[in-house]
A and B are shown apart, each in its own frame.
Chain A
Amino acid sequence: MNPANYVYLSALLFTIGAAGVLLRRNAIVVFMCIELMLNATNLAFVAFARMNGNLDGQIIAFFVMVVAAAEVVIGLAIIVTIFRTRRSASVDDASLLKY
């Protein structure tokens, strides 16, 4: 199979993720979309590694996974805390930090 197709898939997934972050209000869903974008980039990295015939992309993909795992821990903790205080998981409700 043509490796370029993986890159197209990756672009598609990234776009879906980005659109989800911008359009959805539920923090959990926004969070999932961020994960989707991260994994889309992972897919692109791995595809590029295959296309270039070296392991650089695969190594970076591991790094991204580690960072994403850490991010999930903190992000979920924040979301849970916000939900506990305001009984809502909408990102638009948490808008006190402004001008």
Chain B
Amino acid sequence: MDPTLLAQEVTAAGGVLSLSWLVIALPLLGAAVLLLGGRRTDHWGHLLGVATPALAFLLAAVQFFALLGRDAEQRAVSTQLFSWVPVGGFDVDVGLLLDPLSMCFVLLITGVGSLIHLYSIGYMEHDPQRRRFFGYLNLFVAAMLLLVLADNYLVLYVGWEGVGLASYLLIGFWQYKPTAATAAKKAFVVNRVGDFGMSLAIMLMFATFGATSFAAVFAGAEQASETTLSVLGLLLLLAACGKSAQFPLQSWLLDAMEGPTPVSALIHAATMVTAGVYLVVRSNAIFDAAPVAQVAVVAVGAVTLLFGAVIGCAKDDIKKALAGSTMSQIGYMMLAAGLGPAGYAFAIFHLLTHGFFKAGLFLGAGSVMHGMHDEVNMRRYGGLRAAMGITYATFILGYLAIIGVFPFAGFWSKDKIIEAAFAENTVTGIVALLGAGITAFYMTRVILMTFFGERRWAEGVHPHESPLSMTVPLMALGGLSVVGGALAWNDGIVRWLEPVVGHEEHELFLPVWAFSLMTLVVVGAGVLLAFRQYGRRRVPAYAPAASPLTVAARQDLYGDAFNEAVFMRPGGRLTRALGFFDVRGIDGAVNGVAALVGAGSGRVRRLQTGFVRSYALSMLGGAVLIVAALLLVRL
């Protein structure tokens, strides 16, 4: 275990740092007012909805500077709110832990969240249910903040389920669309599989350590057996896979794009889907002592990285292409998180920069859809750069950031992960490098099909630039995509996170610039390939026949087909078999007994003839029998 971990001491909060509860309470209050206030809040509801996360962001920023002013070892402060479950030896307090790791998340959630709230004012302007939308968004922000600020796993779980609920409500926001309603249900069900892992992990923690607080669990992890920690790590990984749409629980994320675009940007790109990465990084004490679980995390990350990237290459729906990209980028983070102290900080670094540029890209896609009458098919776009200049410019900034062009944010964060992956072993390194190339390919494809080439617009579509409330967040996120790399300036983020997650330098067999060069070459190759495919040739209006891999990627690499064949159909057969057994077996036995008794009594009642003398005869016979029996017994 890294000695730096022990150096961090948790101190009681004072001053502005004790106001962490207010950061959660503000958006929660907003959600309560908007959802309970009903129609009378329609006129000003969206303003309140924007104000609460913005205020929370300001408060978090003040807290950030307060933390920054402290010594590195003094930066973890806890606030005990109240005792929640005091049952005999089991005692759960609701407490908040503000340390460098949760601070990063709080700033990301409230900061990017505020921008997306602002954007939603314009995007949802014509939706009669806009107030409800803002209520749900506020609810999500509150739950997500609770998730990252909790100081024990049980409170974390409350936030975990809260974001799941908010995600469900927002994916199915347009519930009159059957696809949206189904997608919401699918997301919820798939997430339950992950939540199952989470609840088992918490139970195992309680059984092993007798507590669920981070401090107690991490302290107990030093003595616990490696088997226990491996099981715990794998269960936490299952939970992370569900929430972060990692293989094999990735299938819900692509369908989740049925929700309004700001939701895709906030929940399914920038924040909620990173909760799995947070969980793994937060539980670093467990994973560091469980190499098996770490290998599993790396494997899941590497597989998802390629999986999502390949899907992203084949989708014509702009949001689904970006969703595939999200899966892939979170795969990067998981991979880094699985590398141990060498990778935790880089996972969080990539998570933050990804939060900036992917939110920007999604909002850009939303802006394009806004101008194109909610058209999502990129084959119906083309040549939009003239029609929507600001969207185009900010989208390009996000694009350069995500493919990792020097000196944009993604270059710094992705490069670090690729280096760390190569330091771990060559295979993961090559996967990470390959992923960078595919990322460049599909993002170039999106750019070329959307903003360049000939105009393939449908009849009667007149693209226009979005209102200022939408373009201002785009500009802000575009700017962050450019300068986000500064977080790593002078190893800032690594040193910032070191008290929480530790750090160790990886050893490389080549100088750092060689890896950067290699990455840039691969990225360049991906861009060129995409340009040759989509820049030079005409883009057909309908998806052409293609190689088996492309066809598979269009079908989400048969993820749904697999789930259907392996889980859904046998499950359906099992329920039918159980139903048959219930009707024929259990009901059959009950009905059979009843029929037997009925038929038997039908026969027996024939004895009731109504003739008094036959009754008298049977009485006499009975008396004779009793007397005979008595005599027999006496003998």
Residues of A within 8 A of B (CB): 18, 21-23, 25, 30, 91-92, 94-99
Interface residues of B in 597-614 (CB under 8 A from A): 605-606, 608-613
B630: Cβ under 8 A from any A Cβ = no
> Complex: how many Å from CA A91 to CA B616?
12
User: Contact between A22 and B616 (Cβ–Cβ < 8 Å)?
Assistant: yes
User: Contact between A18 and B609 (Cβ–Cβ < 8 Å)?
Assistant: no
A residues less than 8 Å from B6 (CB atoms): none
User: Contact between A97 and B616 (Cβ–Cβ < 8 Å)?
Assistant: no
Report which of B605, B609, B617, B620 forms a contact with A95, defined as CB distance below 8 A.
Answer: B609
> Complex: how many Å from CA A41 to CA B179?
91
B608, B610, B620 — most chain A CB neighbours (10 Å):
B610
> Complex: how many Å from CA A18 to CA B606?
24
Report which of A22, A96, A98 forms a contact with B620, defined as CB distance below 8 A.
Answer: A22
Report which of B609, B613, B616, B617 forms a contact with A98, defined as CB distance below 8 A.
Answer: B609
User: Contact between A22 and B610 (Cβ–Cβ < 8 Å)?
Assistant: no
> Complex: how many Å from CA A98 to CA B609?
5
User: Contact between A91 and B612 (Cβ–Cβ < 8 Å)?
Assistant: yes
A residues less than 8 Å from B613 (CB atoms): 21-23, 25, 30, 91-92
B residues less than 8 Å from A25 (CB atoms): 613
B609 smallest CB distance to A (angstroms): 6
User: Contact between B606 and A99 (Cβ–Cβ < 8 Å)?
Assistant: yes
B191 smallest CB distance to A (angstroms): 64
B residues less than 8 Å from A30 (CB atoms): 612-613
User: Contact between A97 and B610 (Cβ–Cβ < 8 Å)?
Assistant: yes
User: Contact between B616 and A99 (Cβ–Cβ < 8 Å)?
Assistant: no
Chain B residue nearest to A27 in the complex (CB): B612
Q: Digitize B504-520: 1 where CB-to-A-CB distance is under 8 Å, 0 elsewhere.
A: 00000000000000000
> Complex: how many Å from CA A18 to CA B617?
9
User: Contact between A95 and B610 (Cβ–Cβ < 8 Å)?
Assistant: yes
B contacts with A: majority SS: helix
Q: List the 8 shortest-distance A-B pairs measured between CB atoms, nearest first.
A: A98-B610, A95-B610, A99-B605, A91-B612, A99-B608, A98-B608, A21-B616, A95-B611
Chain A residue nearest to B620 in the complex (CB): A18
A residues less than 8 Å from B606 (CB atoms): 99
B606 smallest CB distance to A (angstroms): 6
Q: Digitize B611-629: 1 where CB-to-A-CB distance is under 8 Å, 0 elsewhere.
A: 1110011001000000000
Q: Given contacts A21-B613, A23-B613, could you give 14 more A-B pairs where the C-beta distance is less than 8 Å?
A: A22-B617, A22-B620, A30-B613, A91-B611, A94-B610, A95-B609, A96-B610, A97-B610, A98-B608, A98-B610, A99-B605, A99-B606, A99-B608, A99-B609
A91 smallest CB distance to B (angstroms): 5
> Complex: how many Å from CA A96 to CA B609?
9
> Complex: how many Å from CA A23 to CA B620?
13
B residues less than 8 Å from A95 (CB atoms): 609-612
> Complex: how many Å from CA A92 to CA B606?
16
A residues less than 8 Å from B609 (CB atoms): 95, 98-99
> Complex: how many Å from CA A49 to CA B391?
122
Report which of B605, B611, B616 forms a contact with A92, defined as CB distance below 8 A.
Answer: B611
> Complex: how many Å from CA A22 to CA B609?
15
A residues less than 8 Å from B617 (CB atoms): 22
> Complex: how many Å from CA A4 to CA B606?
43
> Complex: how many Å from CA A37 to CA B612?
17
A24 smallest CB distance to B (angstroms): 8
> Complex: how many Å from CA A22 to CA B611?
11
Chain B residue nearest to A97 in the complex (CB): B610
> Complex: how many Å from CA A96 to CA B612?
11
A34 smallest CB distance to B (angstroms): 9
B residues less than 8 Å from A21 (CB atoms): 613, 616
User: Contact between B605 and A94 (Cβ–Cβ < 8 Å)?
Assistant: no
Chain A residue nearest to B606 in the complex (CB): A99
Chain B residue nearest to A98 in the complex (CB): B610
Chain A residue nearest to B607 in the complex (CB): A99
